[in-house]
Structure 1
């Protein structure tokens, strides 16, 4: 037993460094002293798990930025067929290795893929898991628009965010000369990170709460729950999707978009 544990420890160290602290069979952990404090991401899962159906049999799940696969494994244990994507080969190597340790290799498909590549696919998913990725993207709203069109039942969304819960009461329209409201704490906005944030050059954006909810609505999603700080549970709501009338997404993806709202706007301004 000691020899098996020693060999497992050697394999864990060879695959490091790890970001997800996985509790492997036998009790070995991949990052027992995580720099984020506590048992990460297990403590996040504890906050979210009650918002996800216990039985996911028959559900197809997309885990965007799967890292070492912690969330993919939890969702697979509930019966889901999971497609887990990441652009970092090291994380995918960790995840594939860990899937074998847990006996979940047949329930989770790992792909080296960026979120934007999903624009060239018509794949649909019952649940889209979009946590810890949004603020690392140079083109975050493009990614959100793409993912919203592939969400059949629900999305779990999380992003780094600015302090504060304020929401400006009226963002429907303002004259071009009336710009003071845009400076209000509750106006939907994002801070742009030119260099680094928390030492990470891939941290590009930090939105406020109002901005998060506004972007989710604009991408065709409706927030139904907030199980924890910075975490939003959403369901599809295409009626509010800007991509239904704004042609920029189709120009980027090369795919035509449904445009009944566009037609309504043309009629209203004719």
Structure 2
């Protein structure tokens, strides 16, 4: 992707500063958007750990980037040749950053960015070959519903998923059922656990739920996603599968149509 030749580094830097604080550190023709990020060169350093797990050629494929922020993953998927890329976010400031980044990279007309919540995706009435759901789950008050909606309405094949995790990284097999008086399993490190954050974690009031590894994998399976690979400690590549009638019937909450 070629950048916009008419913009100097000084002009790009001025726009970057005018668009406020950036969470994605992007390289826009030599100008970094978040050089002092507390995580380092984020999210590039993380992406480099699992980039190999995604198709190198996305020609003819469609991508939905949920919680796209400043568009790092949307831009990367376009670089891999995706035919259609749609990034959605609820923060208009992030969307403005993403649109500017796409403009500088010369793909402003090739990537669509839209203000939308994961809970509104049924309105898209479109399925995508790859759905990216990175760094969003733990910011939601209703995380499992979000996964159900993704499965029901927008996922056609692959899901790229990431969530912050805390607690044990052990994973124990889960039985089909447990007797009412069984309580010891809830103390086991490898049993799925989802911690609720009533106030704040890491100074962020939007961090609501933090799962352990077993919980992440259980939630993905329960929502109809088969884990294909686990290329990075918090990242999963999954494939959508059809739910059985019993699985659909066991659900207490159904995705909205």
**So what's the TM-score if we normalise by structure 2?**
0.92
Tell me how far apart the structure 2 counterparts of residues 188 and 48 of structure 1 sit (CA, whole Å): 24
3-state SS of paired residue (2:100):
helix
Match of 1:46 in 2: 48
Match of 1:92 in 2: 95
Is the contact made by 1:221 and 1:241 (CA closer than 8 Å) also made in structure 2? no
Deviation at 1:102, TM superposition (A): 0.3
Is the contact made by 2:86 and 2:114 (CA closer than 8 Å) also made in structure 1? yes
CA distance change for structure 1 residues 247 and 224 in 2, over 3 Å: closer, same or farther?
A: closer
Map 1:117-266 onto structure 2 (within 5 A): 117-149=120-152, 150-239=154-243, 244-246=248-250, 248-250=252-254, 253=256, 255=257
Structure 1: where are the runs of 5+ without partners?
256-270
Tell me how far apart the structure 2 counterparts of residues 140 and 118 of structure 1 sit (CA, whole Å): 14
Picking from 96, 111, 114, the partner of 1:111 is 114
Greater mean alpha carbon deviation, residues 99-108 or residues 126-135: 99-108
CA distance change for structure 1 residues 5 and 53 in 2, over 3 Å: closer, same or farther?
A: same
Deviation at 1:31, TM superposition (A): 1.0
Tell me how far apart the structure 2 counterparts of residues 243 and 60 of structure 1 sit (CA, whole Å): 28
Map 1:49-68 onto structure 2 (within 5 A): 49-68=51-70
**RMSD of aligned Cα (Å):** 1.8
Any idea what the Cα deviations from partners look like across 1:220-252, whole Å, max 9, x if unmatched? 0011111111101100122469762245443x5
CA distance change for structure 1 residues 178 and 141 in 2, over 3 Å: closer, same or farther?
A: same
Picking from 19, 23, 29, the partner of 1:19 is 23
Tell me how far apart the structure 1 counterparts of residues 64 and 52 of structure 2 sit (CA, whole Å): 19
CA distance change for structure 1 residues 243 and 16 in 2, over 3 Å: closer, same or farther?
A: farther
Is the contact made by 1:223 and 1:233 (CA closer than 8 Å) also made in structure 2? yes
CA distance change for structure 1 residues 140 and 146 in 2, over 3 Å: closer, same or farther?
A: same
Is the contact made by 2:139 and 2:209 (CA closer than 8 Å) also made in structure 1? yes
Structure 2: where are the runs of 5+ without partners?
none
Tell me how far apart the structure 2 counterparts of residues 228 and 240 of structure 1 sit (CA, whole Å): 30
Matched, 1:33 2:31: no
Q: How many residues align?
A: 250
Deviation at 1:159, TM superposition (A): 0.3
Tell me how far apart the structure 2 counterparts of residues 225 and 90 of structure 1 sit (CA, whole Å): 33
CA distance change for structure 1 residues 139 and 243 in 2, over 3 Å: closer, same or farther?
A: farther
Q: Larger Cα Rg: Structure 1 or Structure 2?
A: 1
Is the contact made by 1:171 and 1:187 (CA closer than 8 Å) also made in structure 2? no
**So what's the TM-score if we normalise by structure 1?**
0.88
Tell me how far apart the structure 1 counterparts of residues 251 and 183 of structure 2 sit (CA, whole Å): 26
Which of 1 and 2 has higher RCO (CA within 8 Å, sep 6+)?
Answer: 2
